[in-house]
Structure 1
Amino acid sequence: MTSTPVETALARVGGIRGLVYSALPVTTFAVVSAASGRIPATAAAVGVAAVILVWQLVRRESTRPALWGFAGVALCAGVALVTGQAKDFYLPGIWMYLGLGLLFTASILVGRPVVGVFWAWVTGRDSTWRGVARVRLAFTAATAVMAAVSWVRFVVQYYLYDTDQDGLLAAARIAMGWPLMAITLPAVLLAVRYAVRALPVQTLSSTAAGDQPVFGE
């Protein structure tokens, strides 16, 4: 059975299980930090990330998300240890949200919405989708939703970071993970489904068959 574009994209980040794994070290740090302080929390977060990495390797799951996840947690932990402030564990993530917000917004302004570009890359299609106004609009709307979510995450969490509200910052990082993802994912799904239905049949069939695209750049 051929995988859908969404299934392919999820597979690249480790699937739903991979998304859950990515939240566990952050949650661990937040809980342990509140109870025992920065150093035990840092050790616990890295320990959980290491256990997840080993577990995925043992199960022979996709190693790329596992390695990136561990590297991300290690980076956050390293920043917190170097600066001596527990709240700095969240700083790389805050700047990541800023970067994503800028990326999504810029992609819309230049007429290459990230959701559409990523969809084309995952499915092996060319850029002819940009020539179909309805499809471009759908991908632009989905990218705008992701941009808005990224900006909200950055603004809220940076404010809490800047005002030294560590407890609320930890809560915000957790609360703004899965709940906001539940908003963005349906938008992306709708855009992809609309694109598949709206694109010319010739483009879909020729690309899926591995032939040269019917429509040029």
Structure 2
Amino acid sequence: MTSLDKPTEDAQQHDDARAVTEAALFEAFGGVRGMVETVLPGLLFVTIFTINKDLHWSAIAALAVSLVLVVVRLAMKDTVKHAFSGVFGVAFGVVFAMMTGNAKDFYLPGMLYTLGLAVAYVVTTLAGVPLIGLILGPVFKENLSWRTRNPGRKKAYAKASWAWGLILLAKCAILFPLYWWADTTQLGWVLVILKIPPFLLAVWLTWVFLAKAPAPIDVFAEMEAEEKAEQERKAALAQEGGQTSTGGRHRR
């Protein structure tokens, strides 16, 4: 390899690592379709409520579209984790709103979840086990190897978790005062507006941090290699034992 080939190869490896990171983030967070499934029920709820102020019809429509999204996923034999999480979130919101008779309570479970998630990102990072690493580790096939064997990657996960935590806390700082002071329509439209931009910012920062981090350690490939080496060792021992036995018979 010449000195001119080396930078080209390094650049190719860097591009490959960035592509793998993009694909993993897209898979982990659901991509464009996952965002649509996250936004659509709340958008439908606030649109109908803005028009007719009817809590029941708004709630039923939001829950119905969530179920339709799950059915579509099942029909296409696609992963349903993002659609199912949307159904559960909408169902909790519907139950809260129906129990209290206050349409704003449709949004309360999701807001509390966002707050809890923000706290989880901060606390786990302070504890040395950043939550984003726990989420993305299996996606990158590295599991928890980044904790002890890949300090550069652990640092990137910590930065990303701080980003997620602070962005979500900022979102909560906007939403919770509105929950108390604004009406249902105002809160609903602000929630819809704030659904995607903070999420995209957090995902983009995660991509930036991980794209600059060392490559993940593929622990699954390591386990497969170890298993293959063990099988080859056993086969060699068995073959050696057979040859020894044959040699003993020949000497007799």
TM-score when scaled to structure 1? Answer: 0.84
Q: Would you say 1:169 and 2:187 are equivalent positions?
A: yes
Tell me how far 1:162 sits from its aligned partner.
Answer: 1.5
Which has the higher mean CA deviation after the structures are superposed, 122-131 or 180-189?
122-131
What is the rounded CA distance, in whole Å, between the counterparts of 1:181 and 1:9 in structure 2? 12
Q: Is 2:69–2:83's contact at 8 Å kept on the other side of the alignment?
A: yes
Which has the higher mean CA deviation after the structures are superposed, 160-169 or 102-111?
160-169
Of 26, 47, 70, the residue aligned with 2:42 is 26
Q: Is 1:125–1:207's contact at 8 Å kept on the other side of the alignment?
A: yes
Q: Aligned runs of 1:195-210 on 2, under 5 Å?
A: 195=213, 198=214, 204=217, 207=219, 209-210=221-222
Q: Aligned runs of 1:1-217 on 2, under 5 Å?
A: 4-12=20-28, 14-37=30-53, 38-131=55-148, 132-195=150-213, 198=214, 204=217, 207=219, 209-211=221-223
What is the rounded CA distance, in whole Å, between the counterparts of 1:185 and 1:68 in structure 2? 19
**SS of 1:4's equivalent?**
helix
What is the rounded CA distance, in whole Å, between the counterparts of 1:213 and 1:109 in structure 2? 35
Tell me how far 1:137 sits from its aligned partner.
Answer: 2.7
CA gap of 1:144–1:13, structure 2 versus 1, over 3 A, is closer
| Unaligned runs of at least 5 residues, structure 2 | 1-18, 227-252
Equivalenced residues, count: 207
Larger Rg: 2
Q: Is 1:14–1:62's contact at 8 Å kept on the other side of the alignment?
A: no
In the alignment, what sits opposite 2:4?
Answer: none
Letter in 1 for 2:23: E
- Aligned Cα RMSD in Å? 2.6
| Unaligned runs of at least 5 residues, structure 1 | none
Tell me how far 1:212 sits from its aligned partner.
Answer: 8.1
CA gap of 1:47–1:118, structure 2 versus 1, over 3 A, is closer
CA gap of 1:19–1:100, structure 2 versus 1, over 3 A, is same
Letter in 2 for 1:169: L
Percent sequence identity is: 23
Tell me how far 1:55 sits from its aligned partner.
Answer: 1.7
Tell me how far 1:139 sits from its aligned partner.
Answer: 1.8
Q: Is 1:56–1:62's contact at 8 Å kept on the other side of the alignment?
A: yes
What is the rounded CA distance, in whole Å, between the counterparts of 1:151 and 1:141 in structure 2? 15
Tell me how far 1:70 sits from its aligned partner.
Answer: 1.5
Tell me how far 1:211 sits from its aligned partner.
Answer: 2.8
